[in-house]
Amino acid sequence: MLKELRPALVLIVVMTALTGIAYPLAVTGIAQLAFPWQANGSLIERDGHVIGSSLIGQRFADPAYFQGRPSAAGEGYDAANSGGTNLAPSSRKLVDEAGARVAAQRQANPEETGAVPADLVTASASGLDPHISPATAAYQAKRVAAIRHATVEDVRRLVAEHTEGREFGLLGEPRINVLKLNLALDERWPLKR
Amino acid sequence: MDATGILQILLYVAIILALTPLAGGYMARLFEGKVSFLAWIERPIYRLCGTSADREQHWTGYALSLLAFNLVGALVLYGLQRLQVWLPLNPAAMAAVPADLAFNTAISFTTNTNWQAYGGETTMSNLTQMAGLSVQNFVSAATGIVVAVALIRGFARHSARTVGNFTVDLTRAILYLLLPVCIIGAVVLVWLGVPQNLGPTVEATTLEGSKQIIAQGPVASQMMIKHLGTNGGGFFNANAAHPYENPSAVVNLIHMVAIFVLGAGLTNTFGRMIGDTRQGWAILAAMGLLFLAGVGIIWWADAAGNPALTALGVDQSLSPWQAGGNMEGKEVRFGVALSALFATITTAASCGAVIAMHDSLMPLAGMVPLVNIMLGEVIVGGVGAGLYGMLVFVILTVFIAGLMVGRTPEYVGKKIEAREVKLAVIAILVFPVGILGLGAIALLAGASAIQDGGPHGLTELLYAYASATGNNGSAFAGFGANTLLHNTLLGIAMLLGRFVVIVPTLAIAGAVAAKKTVPHSSGTFPTHGWLFVALLVTVVLVVGGLTFFPVLALGPVVEHLSLASGALF
């Protein structure tokens, strides 16, 4: 075994230098030079302050905003502690929580009488899902329009403008970035606080 | 289930099929020593190691070198975690990792499992992530590759005493294959939105005026190797479901291709090095059949949605406005179709990265990843591990075929005799021992780690022990594995599943290398046709299925039936 120990030690030192230090540092260097915005987390600034990342969902409780998905990350949308509920499909807790969310959504959106879209009442995998489905946006459009004194048609048009299709028309699912949509809402129909 | 979903799956299969001969051809030339543009880096490394590119080892020497290297690697990783609080590159001031968790994690990353009993952004310093975990991502993947290469050489050579040189093979796998692909891939990932920085967390003031702390780090460089090396250990707790690890379906496609490309390519490397590429395609065909069946079952089971939620008035139907299905633990940008595809890929290979929480899959959907792992992850499989795992099943298959016709079994010109079959059976028995044996002890002594009640609770525990034994690393993450008992038992399961398979595999490599090649005759059972493919698939299913069927019936099957009848736990 001693004979094997020398190459083992040399290899681990060399590989640590190559793959553990040189590789990530080289990629960091190239990334920071070529794509600094992405490399630093795709952050969005407003009036010089970071208000979030275009990739990371954040909590919207105010009914004047479109709400994102329920989140199990920390206390909700904790971007330093990602994760899902990991509840079983047969879990009573899961079904009770979904039931409470359905009731809350019906109360917040009284004009919508149909079934509640699935992604509005189920927690995402990361707890930081930045998107909602077009169905979930449509479900909230009347409420947001009423609070912001806008017409439902105008709000729907804004939602349509912010709906991202499948990539190359094929990959993934149609979706709306909630933070970007809400930023556009604030710009178009500012909230008087 | 819709046309776009089917098209996405077919596109993925087509890309893998197109890349297989390219990757396979390159690896064949690489391990035959025909690629040498980095010889100026190689030579000093070999000199420091006291070896040279033309000095080969008997299988025992190869195995000892491999074990020594893995031991040293595990000790370094353990030390880094315990000492990280005093070491540099710790901007978020992470504390030293507790002993049992550090032991579990050190084994986990050395064995290419990447089981994570911790959350990355809350436990590990940047130094530990880079110089510890990332290094093992490379070298554990390379370890898998070189074992497969040694076994391929065994079948390709005749009357040979040696199977290669571990130091040389490992160095070449990293220098010429993993590193270059990762450097290019990681830069592309950053371009597509994956962060890569050494900064601390970012503090944002949200639109509603509250504070959001956003974890940062060298994510892209770890993403690329964690998928290419079928490691699967996420930078963040939510793994590839985290929008920083996997911001879009395009990035997701790169991740999925990276997971399979080397494993599929190695079937072609095998074919080329033994001089009959049809043998490689036959193995890939058997893998492909099992793979497509898995994707189909998960997608079907999850697309139907959760009946308990439908009853509450939740719309889970597929429409132009939503992907529908069981969205608990899934991301909107991926939906049910891509989540089904990824869940199959990650458990068919021993990757273990996730874009959907497996714990929240519908019962029959969650059973597929579990079965994929229990079958030994031979469906393309972990880099290297998939091919040598499947070749172990091939030995069993030709043995059974030989028994049926009463003839000494042969495979690619090598007689398969008692020694090889015994070694193959040892490797196969590791799975029931690790999953059912250690799992039973865990159930008796540590059931409190189970989160959900009812049959799902059993599945959670079973999945943990399957994932560890299979060196997969994905989890039914509700299972609270970070306890002294489970950290220890799962650590043992990972060691079993890695080295008690690798050593017999290398012994088989040595045994078949020493044999003469027998000429092809009219009595030789052809191992490149559909008859053989069907027989191989059957052996994989029967061995896996019969061993684990009873416990699967008690877990996911009972949960499915009770959920359908409206019972909750």
A51–B355 CB contact, under 8 Å: no
Where residue B91 falls among pLDDT bands split at 50, 70, 90? confident
Instruction: Please tell me the predicted confidence (pLDDT) of residue B73.
Output: 96
A75 neighbourhood in chain B, CB within 8 Å: none
B222 within some domain: no
B101 occurs within a structural domain: no
The answer to whether residue B475 sits within a structural domain is yes
Range B7-18 average pLDDT: 97
Single out the residue of A43, A14, A166 nearest to residue B195, CA to CA.
Answer: A43
Residue B432 lies in a domain: yes
Q: Which of A52, A57, A88 is closest, CB to CB, to B360?
A: A88
Between B408 and A121, residue with greater pLDDT: A121
Q: Which chain B residues are within 8 Å of A122, Cβ to Cβ? A: 309, 314, 326-330
The CA-CA-CA angle for residues A110, A112, A116, to 5°, reads 110
Overall domain count for chain B: 1
Mean pLDDT of the region A108-127: 96
Q: For residue B522, is pLDDT > 90? A: no
Q: Which sequence spans correspond to the domains of chain A?
A: 1-40, 41-188
**Tell me, what's the pLDDT at A1?**
64
Contact B559 A89 (CB under 8 A): yes
Chain A residue with the nearest C-alpha to that of B169: A11
Q: Are B394 and B285 in contact (CB under 8 A)?
A: no
- Residue B274 contacts residue B241 (beta carbons within 8 Å): no
pLDDT digits (tens, 9 = 90+) for B233-246: 888 889 999 999 99
ipTM at complex level: 0.96
Residues B26-37 have pLDDT tens digits of 999 999 999 999
**pLDDT over 90 (residue B439):** yes
Note whether residue B347 is domain-resident.
Answer: no
Query: Rounded distance, CA B273 to CA B150, Å?
Result: 11
Q: Give the one of B132, B170, B314 whose C-beta lies nearest to A115's C-beta.
A: B314
- Partner residue opposite A81 with nearest CB, options B119, B178, B451: B119
- E strands, B287-376, are 314-315
Q: Read off the tokens for B21.
A: 């001969």
Q: Is B159 exposed, middle or buried (0-12, 13-18, 19+ CB in 10 A)?
A: exposed
Q: Is B394 part of a structural domain of the chain?
A: yes
Mean pLDDT, to the nearest integer, of A6-14?
95
Please report the residues numbered 83 through 142 in chain A whose beta carbons come closer than 8 angstroms to any beta carbon of chain B.
83-92, 94-95, 98-99, 102, 106, 114-119, 121-136, 138
Contact A5 B72 (CB under 8 A): yes
CA–CA separation, A37 vs A55, rounded Å? 12
